[in-house]
Amino acid sequence: MMAEKTHSTISALVNEAVHIALQEDQDDLRAFEERAAEITLSYEELLDDLKLHATL
């Protein structure tokens, strides 16, 4: 088991996994808040913009 290999308790491993997951969620929420004011493009508008700038 992982707990034996790392000399950690199962509880400590679970706590670490939960902490990592919550940190990722916090990062996602921060990115969402930072991008909330950005304009929204439809799929067609995005394709047109990519074609206009020779990206696609």
Q: Can you read off the two tokens belonging to residue 21? A: 């997951």
Residue 2 is predicted with a pLDDT of: 66
Residue 5 is predicted with a pLDDT of: 76
State the Rg of the chain over Cα: 21
Q: How does pLDDT run across 14-53, given as a tens digit for each residue?
A: 999 999 999 999 999 999 999 999 999 999 999 999 999 9
* Its pTM surpasses 0.75: no
Asked if residue 1 has pLDDT above 70, the reply is no
Task: Report angle CA 24, 27, 31 to the nearest 5 degrees.
Answer: 140
Q: Can you read off the two tokens belonging to residue 3? A: 């707990």
Asked if residue 12 has pLDDT above 70, the reply is yes
Residue 3 is predicted with a pLDDT of: 63
